[in-house]
Amino acid sequence: MKKTKYRSQSGNAFLVAVSAVILGLIGGAVLMAAIGSNPFMGFYYLFRGGLMNIERIGNTLATATTLMLVGLSVAFAFKTGLFNIGASGQMLIGGLCATLVAHKVFLPRPLFLVVLVASALIGGALWGVIPGFLKARFNVHEVVATIMMNWIAYWSIYYFVPAYLKGPSLETESASIAISQSLRAPWLTKLFNGSYINYGFFIAIVCVIIIRFVLDKTTLGFGLKAVGSNRWCAEYAGIKVNRNVVISMMIAGGLAGLAGLTFYTGYSRNMQIGVMPAQGFDGIAVALLGASNPLGVLFSSLFFGILQSGKGFMNAMTSVPPEIADSIIAVIIYFTATSVLFQRFWDRIARRRGSRRADQREEE
């Protein structure tokens, strides 16, 4: 009885997400038809591009890995009532720390991987904790502070990479990391026929499990959620609001730092200067579609991963431009953001089914 109540709530979020996705796809189909392409062919190649063989599946998973970690970062901050728009900067700094380690630190492989992961975690956490502190101490809005931190990271990379990590040929990107110093694993590459998939995928899955546990089962998560849902009540109950804000931003930053790790030392193996990673913002979409729930983030990042890695193939095989895939994402976000409408719709369906729930207390 109790358990089903819980399920009915998350089931609702699931239906909302699915409705948004379907409407997003319909929106994409309309767009394709409007430019004179065949939507069925468009979608066929879009999904084929993401899933048609083992290599492409591997690439889709590698793309989804970064989105998953950024989505988790944004979702975690959401739970504490914070809007982490600085995942891009946290990714860059996490990636920079990891790239430095990859180039300069030589240790036995297992130990090396631990140091690599820790460096990105710490770098990202540092980049998250600064806006957290500014919010807690001086009430600087985190949206402003994190955007500033994005640009500080961007320009730091711009100068740091050419100065210390320059590649042999190009001024604009760092030297390529040796496979043995990256997150890539020969057995994985081989298993997926030479795709970009790497250990980052397992790191992301472990993070989903850990974050889910932290939010649902620990006192830390309890306090964070209380602050996020009603800071006045949290304060009244003796929960330290400011400390929780700092902790939340630290953890969110650390997760985004790990996203940078998987992207810069796994998916690609170098850092380009002058590029703000778009995943930092796509992660907001992932978190929204996933209803800020770790499991939801897992699935929505996989879905967005398919769209992202399939759009190039769609463009190559049809006359549909790759921006259609981005438009589909945009339409999905639009419908997720207006999810209240779906919620009402599905609530009504549920009630029609004659479920006699007494929670419908009279509207006083």
Smallest distance from another protein to CB 219, Å:
5
Closest CB to another protein among residues 344, 357: 357
Q: How many CB atoms lie within 10 A of CB 5?
A: 10
Residue 10 contacts another protein per CB under 8 A: no
Closest CB to another protein among residues 169, 219: 219
Residue 217 contacts another protein per CB under 8 A: yes
d(CA 173, CA 41): 37
Comparing CA positions, the residue from 193, 189, 150 lying closest to residue 279 is: 150
Dihedral Cα 228, 233, 236, 238, nearest 10 deg:
-40
Q: Could you tell me if 245 and 55 are in contact, meaning their C-beta atoms sit under 8 angstroms apart?
A: no
Site string for another protein, 267-296 (x = CB under 8 A): ------------------------------
Q: Looking at 2, 110, 168, 186, which residue binds another protein (CB under 8 A)?
A: 2
Smallest distance from another protein to CB 84, Å:
20
Long-range contacts of residues 135-143, Cβ cutoff 8 Å, at least 24 apart:
135/82, 135/245, 135/246, 135/249, 136/241, 136/242, 136/243, 136/245, 136/246, 137/242, 142/77, 142/82, 142/83, 142/84, 142/85, 142/86, 142/249, 143/83, 143/85
Residue 234 contacts another protein per CB under 8 A: yes
d(CA 65, CA 203): 9
Residue range at the interface with another protein (CB under 8 A); choices 162-170, 273-281, 331-339, 349-357: 349-357
Residue 209 contacts another protein per CB under 8 A: no
Q: Looking at 10, 180, 218, 338, which residue binds another protein (CB under 8 A)?
A: 218
d(CA 90, CA 70): 9
**DSSP summary character for residue 263:** I
Residue range at the interface with another protein (CB under 8 A); choices 159-167, 172-180, 228-236, 284-292: 228-236
Site string for another protein, 237-256 (x = CB under 8 A): xxxx----------------
Residues in the chain: 364
Both tokens of 128, joined, read 């998250």
Q: Looking at 109, 137, 344, 351, which residue binds another protein (CB under 8 A)?
A: 351
Residue range at the interface with another protein (CB under 8 A); choices 46-54, 132-140, 283-291, 355-363: 355-363
Closest CB to another protein among residues 168, 361: 361
Residue 226 contacts another protein per CB under 8 A: yes
Residue 358 contacts another protein per CB under 8 A: yes
Residue range at the interface with another protein (CB under 8 A); choices 23-31, 40-48, 139-147, 223-231: 223-231
Closest CB to another protein among residues 62, 215: 215
Q: Looking at 5, 109, 137, 141, which residue binds another protein (CB under 8 A)?
A: 5
Q: Looking at 36, 110, 186, 362, which residue binds another protein (CB under 8 A)?
A: 362
Closest CB to another protein among residues 171, 364: 364
3-state secondary structure 91-153: HHHHHHHHHHHHHHCCCCHHHHHHHHHHHHHHHHHHHHHHHHHHHHHHCCCHHHHHHHHHHHH
# residues contacting another protein (CB under 8 A): 32
User: Quick one: CA dihedral 158, 162, 165, 170, positive or negative?
Assistant: positive
Q: Looking at 22, 35, 179, 233, which residue binds another protein (CB under 8 A)?
A: 233
Q: Could you tell me if 225 and 214 are in contact, meaning their C-beta atoms sit under 8 angstroms apart?
A: no
Both tokens of 339, joined, read 């999810």
Contact positions vs another protein (CB under 8 A): 2, 5-6, 217-220, 222-223, 225-226, 229-230, 232-240, 351, 356-364
